[in-house]
C-alpha cells in the first residue's frame, strides 16, 4: 500500500484552505462553503490541536488559517490520537498503529487503532446518555443511564484484545476490497465497565434467545440520521461470557471519542466490529441478528476454500466468529541495524481469538529452523500474551526475523497469506521484519 504523505498544517492550508478544513477537521466542503463557518465538531478538533477551546470560534471564517497554526509545520492527525498513526481513510476515520509502537503490554489509548463506519456523535451529554435493552427475546424493556450502570452493577476491568477482521488485508492478491490495513489494526487495552451478562440478566433473557445486536449513536455518511450505520452482534452464549463488557473507561480514563465515548461494547476474541461504539441500544434477538453489516459479504468468509479472485455466492458465506492465532513483532522496528556479533532481544505479542497461545517461535533463516520463545500467560482470558527471545545474527548481512504462534489446539500461523476471500479477512500469516548486521 502506498503510504500517504504527511503534510504540515501550514503547507496544507497554503495549498487549499477548503481541503485543509476537510482533512484536518472533518468538514464537508458543501457544509462550510455554504455556512462560511466551521461546525462545532470542527472547532472542537481545531481546539484540540491548539491546546484549548476556541473562544468565539463560531465567528471564525472557515477559510481562515488559525494564527496559532499559521507558522506551524505540525503534522495533522485524528483528534485525540497520536500523529504517529497511519491514516487510511478520513471519511470515515480509519487509522492503524505501526507495529513498533505496540510494544507496550497494555496499548495506550492515544495509539489504539481507529475503525469507524460513520460519523461519531457530537455534543455528547454523559449525564443524559441512556442505554436501552429490548427485543423479542427480552423479558422486559429497560433503560439505564451511565450513572445507573455504575451504581447498580459490579464494575470490572479486563485487558481485552480487539482486532479488526480485515487486519492484514493489504497482503491479499488479488486485492480485496476495503481499507488496506497492514498489521496495526489491533490493540490490547484495559477496559472498565459492567459485565454485559449482568445487564442482560437484569432485563431477563428468554429461553428462545439466539443473538444480541447493538445500535450506536453515530451518523451515516449520507447524513441521514434515520439510517443505521452498523449494527452487528454475537450469539447469546458469547454475550454471556464473563469478559464481555459495557465499558466507559479505557486505561483508567474516558474512552476516546473516536473509540466510542461515552459507552461501548467490548467483546474480545472476535472481530472488533462486534464491539459496538457510542452504544445506545442492545436488542436480544430470537434469531441471528440481521442489522447492517451482518449479511452479504460483511465480516463473512467462504464456507469452503476458494481460488483467489473467485466470485463466491452470498449463501456460501459464513459469519466470522473467533479470530485466528496471530503474532506481532514489536521490537526491534523493521529495518533495525545491529552492530557486530552481539545478542539482542526480539519481542512482541501473540493472541488466538477465544483460545490461548501455547507456544511461540521465531526464525532468522526464512523458516528453515525455529527457536522457541519465552511466552507469558495472558493477564486474563482474551488478553494477548507477551513473548521475547535473545537473537544472534551469525554474520554480516541482511536478515529477516519471522514470528510464529501456536494456539492451544495446536494450530500454527501459516508462513504465507492464508485462504483468499472476497473481503480480505483473517490474514494471520507470520509477521516478518527486516534486520541488518554490520561489522564496524
CATH number of the domain where residue 210 is located: 3.90.420.10
pLDDT level of residue 32 (50, 70, 90 thresholds): very low
Local confidence band at 36 (pLDDT 50, 70, 90 cut-offs): low
Question: Would you state the pLDDT for residue 91?
Answer: 83
The CATH number of whichever domain residue 374 belongs to comes to 2.60.40.650
Is the domain of 309 the same as that of 333?
A: no
Q: Where does the pLDDT of residue 319 fall: very low under 50, low under 70, confident under 90, or very high at 90 and above?
A: very high
Q: Which three cell numbers stand for residue 125?
A: 451529554
Same domain, 180 and 303: yes
Residue 3 has pLDDT above 50, yes or no: no
For the residues 18-41, what does the mean pLDDT come to?
Answer: 58
Q: What is the pLDDT at residue 83?
A: 80
Q: Which pLDDT score is estimated for 34?
A: 42
pLDDT band at 207 (very low <50, low <70, confident <90, very high): very high
One domain, residues 374 and 265 = no
How large is the average pLDDT for residues 112-123?
94
57 and 200, same domain (yes or no)? no
> What is the arithmetic mean of pLDDT over 119-141?
96
- Per-residue pLDDT, 121: 94
State mean pLDDT over 100-128: 96
Model pLDDT, residue 51: 56
User: Does 93 reside within a domain?
Assistant: no
pLDDT at 35 over 60: no
* Alpha-carbon distance values, 9 to 65, 172, 439 (Å): 9, 34, 42
Q: Considering only residues 185 and 42, tell me which one the structure prediction assigns the higher pLDDT.
A: 185
Question: Whole-prediction pTM value?
Answer: 0.83
Q: Is 267 found in the same domain as 338?
A: no
Same domain, 310 and 336: no
For residues 308 and 160, state if they share a domain: yes
Quick check: 342 and 396 in contact, CB under 8 A? no
Most confident range, picked from 58-67, 81-90, 355-364? 355-364
| Residue 117 domain flag | no
**Which of 55-59, 196-200, 306-310 has the weakest average pLDDT?**
55-59
Name the domain boundary from 284, 319, 354.
319
**pLDDT value at residue 322:** 98
Q: pLDDT of 144-160, one tens digit each?
A: 999 999 999 999 999 99
Does residue 41 contact residue 26 with C-beta atoms inside 8 Å?
Answer: yes
User: For 320-346, how does the pLDDT look when each residue is reduced to its tens digit (9 = 90+)?
Assistant: 999 999 999 999 999 999 998 889 999
Mean pLDDT along residues 51-57 = 58
**Mean predicted lDDT score pLDDT of the chain:** 89
List the domain range (segments joined by +) for residue 378: 326-438
> What is the structure's pLDDT at 71?
45
239 lies in the same domain as 294: yes
How many domains are contained in the chain?
3
| Whether residue 312 sits in one domain with residue 330 | no
Which has the higher per-residue pLDDT, 71 or 311? 311
Cα 187 to Cα 7: distance, rounded to the nearest angstrom: 26
* Structural domain includes residue 177: yes
Indicate whether 33 pLDDT > 50: no
Give the model's confidence band at 50: pLDDT under 50 very low, under 70 low, under 90 confident, else very high. low
Average pLDDT of the segment spanning 253-269: 97
Digit-coded pLDDT (tens) for 6-26: 445 545 555 566 666 666 666
Are 420 and 288 in the same domain? no
Whether residue 76 has pLDDT greater than 90: no
Amino acid at each position: 500500500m502506498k503510504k500517504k504523505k504527511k503534510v504540515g498544517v501550514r503547507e496544507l492550508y497554503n495549498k487549499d484552505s477548503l481541503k485543509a478544513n476537510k482533512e484536518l477537521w472533518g468538514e464537508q466542503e458543501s457544509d462550510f462553503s455554504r455556512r462560511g463557518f466551521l461546525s462545532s465538531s470542527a472547532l472542537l478538533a481545531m481546539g484540540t490541536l491548539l491546546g484549548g477551546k476556541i473562544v468565539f470560534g463560531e465567528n471564525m471564517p472557515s477559510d481562515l488559517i488559525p494564527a496559532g497554526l499559521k507558522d506551524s509545520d505540525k503534522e495533522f492527525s485524528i483528534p485525540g490520537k497520536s500523529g504517529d498513526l497511519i491514516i487510511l481513510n478520513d471519511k470515515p476515520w480509519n487509522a492503524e498503529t505501526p507495529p513498533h509502537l505496540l510494544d507496550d503490554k497494555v496499548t495506550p489509548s492515544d495509539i489504539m487503532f481507529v475503525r469507524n463506519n460513520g460519523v461519531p456523535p457530537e455534543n455528547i451529554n454523559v449525564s443524559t446518555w441512556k442505554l436501552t435493552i429490548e427485543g423479542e427475546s427480552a423479558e422486559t424493556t429497560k433503560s439505564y443511564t451511565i450513572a445507573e450502570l455504575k451504581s447498580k452493577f459490579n464494575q470490572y476491568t479486563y485487558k481485552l484484545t480487539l482486532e479488526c477482521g480485515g487486519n492484514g488485508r493489504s497482503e491479499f492478491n488479488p486485492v480485496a476490497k476495503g481499507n488496506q490495513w497492514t498489521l496495526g489494526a489491533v490493540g490490547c487495552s484495559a477496559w472498565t465497565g459492567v459485565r454485559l451478562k449482568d445487564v442482560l440478566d437484569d432485563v431477563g433473557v428468554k429461553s428462545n434467545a439466539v443473538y444480541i445486536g447493538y445500535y450506536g449513536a453515530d451518523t451515516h455518511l449520507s447524513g441521514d440520521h434515520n439510517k443505521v450505520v452498523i449494527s452487528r452482534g454475537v450469539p447469546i452464549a458469547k454475550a454471556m461470557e464473563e469478559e464481555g463488557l459495557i465499558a466507559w473507561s479505557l486505561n483508567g480514563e474516558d474512552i476516546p471519542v473516536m473509540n466510542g465515548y461515552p459507552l461501548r461494547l467490548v467483546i474480545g476474541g472476535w472481530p472488533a466490529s462486534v464491539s459496538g461504539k457510542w452504544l445506545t441500544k442492545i436488542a436480544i434477538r430470537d434469531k441471528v441478528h440481521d442489522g447492517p453489516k451482518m449479511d452479504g459479504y460483511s465480516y463473512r468468509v467462504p464456507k469452503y476454500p476458494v481460488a483467489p479472485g473467485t466470485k463466491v455466492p452470498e449463501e456460501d458465506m459464513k459469519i466470522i466468529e473467533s479470530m485466528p492465532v496471530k503474532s506481532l513483532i514489536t521490537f526491534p522496528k523493521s529495518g533495525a541495524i545491529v552492530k557486530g556479533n552481539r545478542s539482542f532481544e526480539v519481542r512482541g505479542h501473540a493472541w488466538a481469538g477465544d483460545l490461548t497461545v501455547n507456544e511461540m517461535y521465531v526464525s532468522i533463516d526464512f523458516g528453515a529452523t525455529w527457536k522457541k520463545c519465552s511466552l507469558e500467560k495472558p493477564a486474563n482470558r482474551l488478553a494477548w500474551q507477551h513473548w521475547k527471545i535473545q537473537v544472534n545474527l551469525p554474520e554480516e548481512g541482511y536478515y529477516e526475523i519471522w514470528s510464529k504462534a501456536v494456539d492451544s489446539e495446536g494450530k500454527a500461523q501459516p508462513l504465507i497469506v492464508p485462504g483468499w476471500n472476497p473481503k480480505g479477512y483473517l490474514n494471520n500469516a507470520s509477521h516478518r521484519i527486516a534486520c541488518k548486521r554490520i561489522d564496524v
